[in-house]
Every structure is written in C-alpha cells, then in structure tokens.
Amino acid sequence: MSTAFESPAERPTLERDVVIVGAGPAGLMAAYTLKKAGKSVAVVEARERVGGRTWNAKVKDMNGTEHFIEIGGQWISPDQTRLSSLVEELGLTTFKRYRDGKNVYRAPDNTRHTYTGEALPVSDATNAEMEKLTDLLNAKVDQMDVARPWKMPDAAELDTISFRAWLQQHSDDQEAIDNISMSIASGMLTKPSHTFSALQALLMAASAGSFSNLVDEDFILDERVVGGMQSVSLKLAQYVGDDVILGSPVRQLNWATPDESTADALNNISSDVRNGVPRNGAPGQVTAYADSVIVKAKNVVLAVPPNLYHRIQYVPPLPREQMIAHQHISMGLVIKVHAVYETPFWREKGLSGTGFGGGHVAPEVYDNTNYGPNSVNAKEGEDPHGVLVSFISDVHAERMWALSEEERKQEILAELAAYLGEEAMHPIAFYLSDMAAEEWTRGAYATSYDLGGLSRWGHLQNEPTGPIYYACSDIAAEGYQHVDGAIRQGEIAANSILEQLG
C-alpha cells in the first residue's frame, strides 16, 4: 500500500528499537525509560516544541513587561507520587499554591459568602445533601479497581446513566447537585454532566484516591513546579537529545502484514487484520512516516491523546474493535483564564483568591502568583504581581468563544470580580489558553468516553495492538487525565517493551 506520505519526499530513514509518536510527558517518559535501559529511540513530535498539553509561556502587560504563565497543566497533588519522584529525579523543585485567608463561595443567586475550612457556606439542608452524595461517591469509589473500572460489579449499569441523572436519583437539591457535579464535570472532564456516565465520573474520583480528595482544592491543587510543568518534559527531552524530532507529524504507520485469508471480494474488502493479530505487544516491523523523517523500529508507542489516533493512517487498518472503540472517546473543552494584576489585591482583603460557584460561568478561581525564576526579574521568592487563574468549561466556554474579544474579556473579568471585588476588572495582562484550537490537541483538559463507552471499550485502551503500545494520561488509572498519569503510562509502556525485547 502506498500513499502520498509514503512516497517521494526526501526524508532520512532512521532505524531504532522503538519509535515514539508524541513528545508530551507520556512519550518522553517512555523514551527516557527506554534510553536509560540502553535501547535506541526516536521521538517524533508534530509541534515545534515538546511538552504537549504542558506549556510555559509569557504574556506582555500594558507596560511591555513579560509575565510567566502556564498555558496547560501545572498542579501536582500529593497522591501523584510518580510525577513527584520524577520531578526530584530531574533536579526540579516545587512550591505550594497560595491559600492563606478566606475563600469565597458564590451561591446560585450570586450572593457572595466568605468561608474557611472545607465545607462550602451553604444551608444546613444543602450541606447534608452534599455530605450524603459525597459519602455515596466515596463508597462507590471504594468498590472500584481504578485500573479496571469496567470490572466493577455494576459497571455496565453505572455506565448507562449520566452523572447528572445519577446525582438526581439520589438528591433533589439543585445547589448540592451543582456543587458536587462541578468538581467532576466542569472541574475535570470539562463536559456537561449529562454527557458522561456515572462510571466515568467514579473513575475520575478513583484516580485521585477518593471523591473527597478530588473536591479538596488544597489536595488536588497543591503544588507547582518551579520553572513550570513543561520543565519536566524539557528535562526529559534534554536526556533523549537529538533523538527528539520536532515539527514532524507522524502521518502513517505500517505495522503488520495483512492476513490473506480475510480478503472478501464480494464486500470489496482487501486482506487486512480486522480480527486482530497474533502476539499483541511482541516486537514486529514498524515504519513511521513523518513529515521530515521515516523511522523503522520493532515497536511503537502511540503517546498521543486518543482523539488523535485517527489522524494517523494505519497500514493495514487497525482491527475493527480498535477502530470502533476510538470513536467513543472525545476531548472536553475548557478555557484557562490568566489575569495579571499590579498586586495580589485580594490578599490585602484577607482573601485567599480561591473561589467556587457551581453553575456559574467561572465556577472556580485561584491565586496563581508566580514564584522564583518565573517572577518578573527572576527574583527569589514570590513575584510582587498577583496572578489569578480561572476555568470556563463546556457550554460556557462555547458561548465565550462566540463573543467578540472585548465582550468575552469583560464578561470573564466580571466573573472574577464577582468573587474577589471590582479590582479584578483591571488586570494589566489578560490571556486565555485555547488548546481546542490547536490541531495536535483539539480540546482540554483531556479525553473521556461517551455514555456507555468505558464499560464497553475501556478494557482495550491499554492493550497493545501487535507492536503498537498506547500511552497517554487519558487512558491512565492513577493520575487519570493528569501529568502524573501520563508519566506512569509512558513508563509502563517502556517497561512492557523492555520485557518483550529482553
């Protein structure tokens, strides 16, 4: 079989033990692990940079001063132990999120309440409902093996009901439902809570250890990497060296010999591997055709988000179950808002900068002030400028992108002001992360299954297909949809290959 990509262009051909598609944290961790074990690798990356959905950048304020921002993933929580140990191994350090002072809660009627501690300042009745739902979710999570959610006794049943409908089955308190749903729907999967299942929601909670962990912002948003989360990928890439090839999307993967017995002249189907191949995971003969290079290898690690699997042409086409499964996984949508101020004005008012309001356009806001080398003038300690970060998800994000730039900015700033006061209307720099518009991501934060997809297809997501291994945060167990999960996935894929290669 031959295509335009396979044929004429002048591209060098490399021969390696393993070719890795994607230089995000998962792909680079796979390469780092394989190279440390003495195997030869090539990491082929579509973008002109490494790091994937982690990305250090700078935004200019009205005076021309540049401020550091993290366009993608940034926080680490205490359960994300593989990422933490890697950060240490790479000689990087972390700092804590600012959390002194009172938090703000915006009730459904937009009244503003300050509070300390974990419990939101809601009525006793709503609080009791939230506690009941939290206990129910924690109990369900306890029954789940996070690596095999589809094995849970009532997995199929939990996968047929949307998370919102499940919450409504157990409560009729709208405020309680909005607040509980926020932490998984807008807060994590970044999809409306009627579009994914209760099982998918439980997986998100289980990957953080419990639902209580997931809703505890001091746990889940604990630390940031000094120098930014992309530094993890930059350090890994430094180790891999010239074997990281940038700006070169992989367009085609030749990976198996078609099974002659499958040819079906009547249906006009030529021989392929629709029913699978023998010895999944074993080394084979792989050729990856990228824009600037061809790589021949024994195994390939597909370290891209599952919504992009179909961007590669597989020769022969993947087995039918893979082709079907991949169509049931899609990206969420979220805008990460960065607003820089002359000072962290909220702190002077005794506020932490943390705010929650389930159901509002911006349901969460945090102090994201820079530190150390990322502060202006790269001073020691904290930057004197204050930075707020907020997130606008799913249908609200769609509506924001439909507005004019100025209307969008004003509406978002008004949301921040509703939490922290009128001063929030006057940032010196303002920036919106837009990974949904990036060809090599197409959404944020990550991908998840549609209703019923996880119980039906989840068991396939980490199974190799012939010499093809899959590695991405979006198919992780611990650290699911997070950098920790990506790191774990890259390492697991590399170790499995090492076992096979001997």
Report the distance separating Cα 221 and Cα 348, nearest Å: 22
Which of 5, 14, 25, 162 touches ligand FAD by CB under 6 A?
Answer: 25
Least separation in angstroms between CB 364 and ligand FAD: 12
Which of 408, 411, 440, 501 touches ligand FAD by CB under 6 A?
Answer: 440
Which of 308, 329, 436, 454 touches ligand FAD by CB under 6 A?
Answer: 308
Check residue 362 for interaction with ligand FAD (CB under 6 A). no
Q: What is the DSSP code string of 333-372?
A: -EEEEEEEESS-HHHHTTEEEEEE-TTSSS-EEEE---BG
Residues 470-499 that bind ligand FAD (CB under 6 A): 472-473, 481-484, 486
Least separation in angstroms between CB 74 and ligand FAD: 4
192-231 footprint of ligand FAD as x/- string (CB under 6 A)? ----------------------------------------
Least separation in angstroms between CB 472 and ligand FAD: 4
Q: Which is nearer to ligand FAD, 115 or 219 (CB)?
A: 219
In this structure, what DSSP letter does residue 60 have?
E
Check residue 286 for interaction with ligand FAD (CB under 6 A). no
Region of 18-26, 59-67, 179-187, 255-263 interacting with ligand FAD (CB under 6 A): 18-26
Report the distance separating Cα 28 and Cα 33, nearest Å: 8
- Residue 125 Cα distances to 131, 173, 174, 412, angstroms: 10, 9, 11, 31
Q: Which is nearer to ligand FAD, 430 or 440 (CB)?
A: 440
Residues 89-148 that bind ligand FAD (CB under 6 A): none
Give the list of residues 6+ apart from residue 278 with CB closer than 8 angstroms, or none.
none
Check residue 306 for interaction with ligand FAD (CB under 6 A). no
Which of 5, 14, 16, 24 touches ligand FAD by CB under 6 A?
Answer: 24
Which of 14, 19, 20, 21 touches ligand FAD by CB under 6 A?
Answer: 21
Peptide bond into 316 cis (omega under 30): yes
Strand, coil or helix: 74: coil
Q: How many CB atoms lie within 10 A of CB 63?
A: 7
Q: Which is nearer to ligand FAD, 146 or 304 (CB)?
A: 304
Burial grade of 323 (CB within 10 A; 0-12, 13-18, 19 or more): middle
Host H or E run for residue 85? helix 81-89
Report the distance separating Cα 244 and Cα 219, nearest Å: 34
CA triple 170-478-244, angle to 5 deg: 140
Report the distance separating Cα 423 and Cα 433, nearest Å: 22
44-73 footprint of ligand FAD as x/- string (CB under 6 A)? xxxx----xxx-----------------xx
Q: Distance from CA of residue 46 to its chain's centroid?
A: 18
Q: Which is nearer to ligand FAD, 390 or 481 (CB)?
A: 481
Q: Which is nearer to ligand FAD, 250 or 497 (CB)?
A: 250
Quote the tokens at residue 489: 């996935």
Q: Distance from CA of residue 190 to its chain's centroid?
A: 10
Report the distance separating Cα 417 and Cα 249, nearest Å: 42
Q: How many residues bind ligand FAD (CB under 6 A)?
A: 41
Check residue 444 for interaction with ligand FAD (CB under 6 A). yes
On whether the CB atoms of residues 322 and 338 are closer than 8 A, the answer is no
Check residue 412 for interaction with ligand FAD (CB under 6 A). no
Least separation in angstroms between CB 284 and ligand FAD: 20
Check residue 26 for interaction with ligand FAD (CB under 6 A). yes
- Which residue sits closest to ligand FAD, CB atoms considered? 24
Q: Which is nearer to ligand FAD, 177 or 446 (CB)?
A: 446
Residues in the chain: 502
Q: Which is nearer to ligand FAD, 162 or 390 (CB)?
A: 390
Q: Which is nearer to ligand FAD, 30 or 133 (CB)?
A: 30
Which of 31, 253, 429, 435 touches ligand FAD by CB under 6 A?
Answer: 435
Amino acid at 62: M
Report the distance separating Cα 162 and Cα 449, nearest Å: 12
In this structure, what DSSP letter does residue 382 have?
B
Region of 32-40, 207-215, 268-276, 301-309 interacting with ligand FAD (CB under 6 A): 301-309
Sign (positive or negative) of CA dihedral 9, 14, 17, 23: negative
Check residue 433 for interaction with ligand FAD (CB under 6 A). yes
Interface residues toward ligand FAD, by CB under 6 A:
21-27, 44-47, 52-54, 72-75, 249-250, 303-305, 308, 311-312, 336, 433, 435, 440-441, 444-446, 472-473, 481-484, 486
